Chains A and B, each alone.
Chain A
Amino acid sequence: MQRIGVFVCHCGSNIAATVDVKRVVETVKKEQGVVHAEDYPYMCSEAGQALIAAAIKEKNLGGIVVCSCSPRMHEATFRKAAERAGLNPYMVEIANIREHCSWIHKDMEEATEKAVILARAAIAKVHLNSHLQPGESLVTKRALVIGGGIAGIQTALDIAEAGYEVDIVEKTPSIGGRMSQLDKTFPTLDCSACILTPKMVDAAAHEKINLYTYSEVESVSGFVGNFSVDIRKKARFVDMNKCTGCGLCQEKCPSKKAKSEFNRGLNTRSAIYTPFAQAIPNVPVIDTESCVKMKTGKCGLCEKVCQAGAIDYSQKDEIITEKYGAIVVATGFDTINLDQYGEYAYNESPDVITSLELERVMNAAGPTKGHLERLSDGKAPKEIVFIQCVGSRCDDHRGKPYCSKICCMYTAKHAMLIRDKYPDVNVTVFYIDVRTPGKNFDEFYRRAVEEYGVNYIKGQVGKVVPQPDGSLLVQGSDLLDGKQIKMRADMVVLATAIEPEAGVRKIATMLTASIDTNNFLTEAHPKLRPVESPTAGVFLSGVCQGPKDIPETVSQAGAAAVKVIGLLAKDKLLTNPCTAESDTLLCNGCSVCQNVCPYGAIGYEDKEVNDHGIRETRRVAVVNSALCQGCGACTVACPSGAMDLKGFSNRQILAEVDAICR
C-alpha cells in the first residue's frame, strides 16, 4: 500500500468551470491509501509544482496522482517535479480530467462524477506502480533529410552549419523540388531560380552534406538516436565521378519523345536527361523506358559521344545502409489529378492549364521560352480566365476538404505578371474568397486589382465549354451582381489543389509517423510541437505537414533543423523504461512472444531456475530492453502469462478497469 497524494488542477476555469474540484478533492480523500489531497488553480505552474514537492516531502508520499490535462501535455512536467522532490518519476499518474472530461461535458454533476472515477482509476493504478529506471542509448550524430526541395535543402543547410553530417535523399535526378519549377515568387516577384540556385549550390558544396539524388528510402528500422535506413540509389547509367556535365549526350540522343516531368509534360525531353539546366548534380540519368539502347540493344550514341566515358549501361540499383540519429521528412507536394473535374475541360483542351503549368509557360526555360501563348495553336491570348479553388475546399468525393493556402496569392501574382507584360490581355479571376493573410499579401492582391486592373468576380465556374473556333466558353456565377456570366476566353488557368507527394504514405509507414486522412503528416502537437512528429526522432519540414508558402516552409525547415540539432547535440538518450519483462519461472520457452515482437527484442537463454525447490536449466525468454519499445504485443501473445509490461502491467490495467466499473 502506497501513501498517495492527489493534486487536482483547476486549469483556470478550463476544468473548474465544469468540474467541482473541491468535491473531487473531498471524495478522493476517502480512497484507500490517499493521505493527501488538494486543489490549485494551475498545478503546472511553478507554485503548483512546489506544492506537489512540498507534499511529497512532508507527507512522505510514495505515489502521486495529478488530475489535470492530458498526460501528453504535462506528464513529463509532473514527473520531473516528483523527481526533484525525491520521488521516482514513474510513481506519478495523470487523470485526464480536461480533454477527456471538463471540455467535452456540460453538466457539472456528470463531469464531477466522471472526474472522480478517472481519479480513482489513476489511484488504483499508482498503487501498483514500481520504481522504474530509464536506460541509456547512444545517439548517432548524423541526420537524414527525405526530400530535396527548398524545405529539405534549408533543413540540411542549417543542420550542417551546426557541424553535423546530413544526407539528403531525393527521388528525382536533381535537388530543387517544386520551387525550381516556379517562375517568380510572391509577393516580391523575385525570380525563383535566382534565389534557389545559390542554396542548391551551397548544399551541394557543403562538406557536411551528402546528396543521394535519384534515390529513395527503402526501409527504416531502429528508433530515436539509432535509426538504420536502407537507401536505394537507382541506376543512373552515368558515372557520377566521370561525367563532366557537358550535355553532349542529351543533344545527340535520338529519342526525344519522353514527356518532360520538369515542364509538367508540356514538352518533351531526351531519354538521357537532366531535368533542367541548373540541375544539381549536373549529371544526367537514362530513362530506361524511352532509351532505344535499353529497349532494343541498338543505338549507344550517348556512349559514343561521351568524351569522359561516363556512360555505363550495366549500372545496377545499389542499396546503401546508413545509421542516423534523426530523420526529417520534407517530401513536399504535387497538384491533384484533375480527371474527375471534367467540367473544366482540362483533359479536352490544351488551353486549359493548371497554375503550375502556367509557371512553366511563363518561364524563359519553359516550353514556350517564356512567351505567353496558347498551347493549342501558339497564338497570343487576349482573354484569360483564372479559376480559384479547383479541388480545394471540396468536401465531396472529388476534391480536398482543406484550403490549399497558396493559390490566392500565386493567382494574383500570375494575373499581375500577365497584365504587366501584356497590357492588352484581359484577366478575369473567379474566386470564392480571396485569402491573403501574410506580410504584404493583401497589399499585393489589391495592387493586382487597383494598379493592374485585374477583374475579380466572386463566384465559381460551373463549366468550361471548348468552342469550335478554338475559344473557351466559361460559364460562371457573379454572386455580387446576381448574374450568371457566359464569357469567351482564350486560356483558362486552374488554381489546382495541392496534396502531399504520392509516396509520403509509404514513407510515413516506414517511419511509423502518423498521417492524417489527407496524407499530411501529423505533428506532435498542433501548436506547441509543430515540426515534430509524434514518433520520437522524426521531424517535419515543408508542405508534407500542411499547405504553406515558401517563407513559411523555410521557417519551418529551420525550426526542424533546430530540433534535430538539439537531439544530435546529446551524447546519450534516456530510454523508455516501460519495457516488457518475462517472469523466468512462468516462461516455458515457446517462442510465441519472439514471433510477434516487431523489434526483434526478445531472445532466449538457458537459465538455471529454482522451481519449488527443483533446480533445473530451462530455455526462457529474455527481453533486450534497449530494443524493446514497449508496445505490449508479447504480453498478450504469451500463453503462460510470463510476459508483462512495466508501467502498463496486467495488474495495473485490471486495477483501472475495476475502478472504472466499480
Chain B
Amino acid sequence: MPVEKEFRPKIVAFCCNWCSYAGADLAGSSRLGYPADVKIIRVPCSCRVNPMFILRAFEKGADGVILCGCHPGDCHYSTGNYYARRRMTLLFSLLDYLGVEEGRTRVEWVSAAEGVKFSTVMNEFVDKIRSLGENVRLGDLRCKN
C-alpha cells in the first residue's frame, strides 16, 4: 500500500539584519520552536529584497515566501521597510493574479525583541502553507526548449 508522504513545504524567509534576523536569533535563544521548513536568508534591510528573488524562489519550487523587516518607523535605514511594503503589495497581487495565492506570501514586522512574535508568525505561516498544499511551479518561458 503506498504511504502518502507528509507534505513538507519549502519556505524561504527573508529577514533584515537589524530587527527580524535578530528576532529570529532571540526566538532561537529562547527555544521558541517553529517548523524546520522555514529557511532564513539574511539581507541588510527588507528593501534589499528584489521581487526577482521571490519570483525565483517560486520558480525553483518554494511553497511560500515571507519577508520580515523592522516595524514601520523603526527601520535601521529609516525608510527601507516602507519601500519593501509598497513593492511587496504590488508583487503579491501580481502573484495572486498568476495563480500563486495571496496566502503564500506575507510581509511581517518583527523587532529584535520579538522572539515570541517571530516564532508565532512562522508557525502560522507554515500552517497556512500546509493548508494550501503544494505550490504551482512558476516557469521561465525563456528557458524552455
Contacts and interface: CB of A to CB of B under 8 A. Distances in A.
Q: Do chains A and B touch in the complex (CB under 8 A)?
A: yes
Interface of A: 70-72, 96, 98-101, 103-107, 110-111, 113-114, 117-118, 121, 505, 508-509, 512, 514-517, 522, 534-535, 578, 596, 598, 629-633, 635-637, 645, 648, 650, 653-654, 656-658, 660-662
Contacts, number: 159
B74 A70 contact: no
Interface string B27-71: 111011110100111111101111111001100111000000010
A653 B53 contact: yes
B100 interface: no
Contacts of B27: 99, 104
Nearest to A636: B50
A484 to B, nearest CB: 35
A661 B61 contact: yes
B85 interface: no
Contact of B28 (A99, A512, A650): A99
A631 B24 contact: no
B22 A516 contact: no
Contact of A661 (B18, B29, B42, B57): B57
Contacts of B74: 508-509, 512, 514-515
Interface residues of B, number: 52
9 contacts: A70-B28, A101-B36, A111-B36, A514-B74, A514-B112, A515-B74, A596-B79, A631-B76, A657-B12
Given A71-B42, A596-B83, A534 B111 contact: no
B50 A635 contact: yes
Given A632-B48, A636-B83, A654-B53, A98 B36 contact: no
Given A114-B36, A514-B113, A653-B53, A648 B44 contact: yes
B112 A578 contact: no
The residue in A98, A99, A111 that gathers the most chain B C-beta atoms within 10 A of its C-beta is A99
A171 B141 CA distance: 62
Contacts of A505: 73
Interface string B95-125: 0000000000000000111100001000000
Contacts of A105: 33, 36
Contacts of A106: 33
The residue in A99, A101, A104, A630 that gathers the most chain B C-beta atoms within 10 A of its C-beta is A104
A346 B53 CA distance: 56
The residue in A96, A512, A635, A660 that gathers the most chain B C-beta atoms within 10 A of its C-beta is A660
B83 A633 contact: yes
